[in-house]
Amino acid sequence: MTGLFSEVFLSALMFGAVTAAIPLLLAGLGEQMSEKAGVLNIGIEGMMLAGAYLGFVGAFYSGSLWLGFFTGAAGGVAVALIMALLCVRIGLNQIVIGIALTLGLEGLTALLHHFQFSRSYPRLPAADATVIPLLSDIPVIGPAFFKHHLIVYLAVGLVFGVGYLYRHTQLGLNLQAAGDKPAALDVAGIDVIKTRTIAVLTTGALAGLGGAYLANVGAGLFIPFISNGAGFLGIVLAMLARGRPVWVLFGALLFGVCLSLTTAMQVAGINIPTDVIQMLPFLAVMIMLVLFGRRASLPAALGIPYERGTR
């Protein structure tokens, strides 16, 4: 037990928390954008898996992590394109299509993994960290927060970028109107379908990027079902955050700590069954939902396909 609270342990724990939080953050930000525009994106888990698989493939064959991030995001967009076509343009049920996409991508990526990688289980080399001078010298906090891959800082910066988008731009207004009262947006002369499509595709890109980070930086390899519910946690985060990107960041960090703690406690050899430890993040979800879920306010037209001229 003495090792549990040592400096090294604490900073490793927090480092792990950040690593675990980034995919959740990206998924949560993505889901938030879809929901703002009125599309409940259950397919986000599938988008993450597509991103994880294609991201790994891209990085593995090219040797470039950045190309991997790009192919991962593209994979997410590809799945989002199906979602946008079926749910936004044709107006099919978002929940049914979302579940179908998730299940389909789980199967497809597992199958592709089986043919490509199941004999060799290739790994990527550890990602280069961008060490931030001075800040990284702070004890405990320094190594935990300021020795990550560049994409981590970019993801955190994105939180504020998205926040600015929602509060200070015309596109942000359009997105919110598309989710709250699409008819009002339509008569204002903005194409609701296009606005929602933009939102869903952006979600795909963010989720795909999150998946690619998970595979390439977090794990260094691709295995089936690697996302392990991260997309669903993203949905919970988006719901709890009530439209505020910063809250997604806080939520993602909180869940990240829980996820990191499960690993840490197993490593530390604490005498609790691993199954119980692994429940921790999901227990945290339930507690968060009980505490804050009731006050979560969702857009009025969430989940309702828009069709012009219907009441």
Partner 1 sequence: MVSLSSLPGAGKRDIVALEGVTKRFPGIVANDSIDLSIRPGEVHVLLGENGAGKSTLIGMLSGLLQPDEGRILVDGKPTQITSPRHALALGIGTVFQHMMLVPALTVAENLLLGGPWWQRPRTEELEARVAEITRSLGITVKLHAKVSELSLGEQQQVEILRAMVRNSRLLILDESTSMLTPKGIDELGALMRRLVEQGLAIVFITHKLKEAAAFGDRISVLKLGRKVGEIPPGRFRALGEQEIVSEIVELMFGKQKDDPEAVECPIRTVCVEAAPLLQVADLTVAPTDNAPGLSSISFDIRPGEILGIAGIDGNGQKQLAEALAGQRVATRGSVRLEGTAIEMLSVGERRQRGLRYLTDDRLGEGTVGTFPVSINFFLKQVGAAPFWRNGFEQRAEIDKRAAQLVREYDVRTPSLKTPVARLSGGNIQKVLLARELAEGAKVVIFNKPTYGLDLANTLASRQRIRDTAARGHAVLLISTDLEELLSMCDRIAVIANGALVGTVENVDDARTKVGRLMIGLAA
Residue 173 or 280: the one with the smaller Cβ distance to partner 1 is 173
Residue (50 or 178) nearer to partner 1, CB: 178
Q: Which stretch binds partner 1 (CB under 8 A): 123-131, 230-238, 269-277, 303-311?
A: 303-311
* CB closer to partner 1, 7 vs 191: 191
What secondary structure letter does DSSP report for 224?
A: T
If binding is defined by CB under 8 A, does position 307 make contact with partner 1? Answer: no
User: Is position 304 an interface residue for partner 1 (rule: CB under 8 A)?
Assistant: no
Q: Which of 89, 114, 123, 308 binds partner 1 (CB under 8 A)?
A: 308
Q: Which residues contact 14 (CB under 8 A, 6 or more apart)?
A: 140, 141, 144, 145, 257, 260
In angstroms, rounded to a whole number, what is the distance separating the alpha carbons of residues 295 and 25?
21
> Residue 41 or 195: which CB sits closer to partner 1?
195
**Among the listed residues 2, 120, 170, 271, the single contact to partner 1 using CB under 8 A:** 170
- Measured CA to CA in angstroms, residue 279 lies from 9, 21, 163, 175, 255 at distances of 21, 17, 32, 36, 12
Could you give the string, one character per residue 172-201, with x where binding to partner 1 holds by CB under 8 A and - elsewhere? Answer: -xx-xx--xx-xxxxxxxxx----------
Please, which residue, 212 or 239, has the CB nearer to partner 1? 239
DSSP 30-51: HHHHHHHTT---TTHHHHHHHH
* Structure tokens belonging to residue 153: 């800082």
- Which SS3 state, helix, strand or coil, does residue 147 take? strand
Number of residues near partner 1 (by CB under 8 A): 24
Considering the complex, what minimum distance in angstroms separates the CB of residue 91 from partner 1? Answer: 17
Selected from 215, 299, 305, 306, the binder of partner 1 by CB under 8 A is 299
Under the binding rule (CB under 8 A), the answer on residue 300 touching partner 1 is yes
**Position among 62, 64, 169, 266 found at the interface with partner 1 (CB under 8 A):** 169
Q: Which of 10, 141, 171, 280 binds partner 1 (CB under 8 A)?
A: 171
Exposed / middle / buried, residue 259 (Cβ in 10 Å: 0-12, 13-18, 19+): buried
**Burial grade of 298 (CB within 10 A; 0-12, 13-18, 19 or more):** middle
Distance of alpha carbon 207 from alpha carbon 43, whole angstroms: 10
Element at 200 (helix H, strand E): helix 192-213
Q: Which is nearer to partner 1, 74 or 198 (CB)?
A: 198
| Interacting residues toward partner 1 by CB under 8 A | 168-171, 173-174, 176-177, 180-181, 183-191, 299-300, 308-309, 311
